[in-house]
Structure 1
């Protein structure tokens, strides 16, 4: 396994472990977005055809979910 793949796996496992211990949703989604970004970079480096696009789109979805939770939490704090 390459270094990028090991980093992606480590970040994903840290996100899952954090979820078990009450990690907020925004951090969980942000860590999964980072794991998808690292996995996509590894797949692009190894020239595996569909995987970089799939992983980067999945990472964008997780980043959007994280940003949505941050904005929703900020709005709830003001009210």
Structure 2
């Protein structure tokens, strides 16, 4: 198991534990997006194209979800 994979697993585990402890949605999605992008980089380095595309696409979707959660939580705070 490469160092990038171990870091990605650690970040994903931190996101899940944080979600159980009340971590806001934008942080959860952002951490999972980071884990997916690190997994995609590792897949690219190992020349696994299908895995790389899957990881990078899921990282992009989770990044969009994080941005959406941040925007909607900012709108809820306004009077």
Q: TM-score, normalised by structure 2?
A: 0.96
Runs (5+) with no aligned partner, structure 1: none
Which residue of the partner structure matches residue 73 of structure 1?
73
Q: Across the two proteins, how many residue pairs are aligned to each other?
A: 79
State the TM-score, normalizing by the size of structure 1. 0.96
Long gaps (5+) in structure 2: none
Equivalent runs, 1:1-79 vs 2, <5 Å: 1-79=1-79
Q: CA RMSD in A?
A: 0.7
| Over 3 Å off, 4+ runs | none
Q: Distance in 2 between matches of 1:71 and 1:17?
A: 23
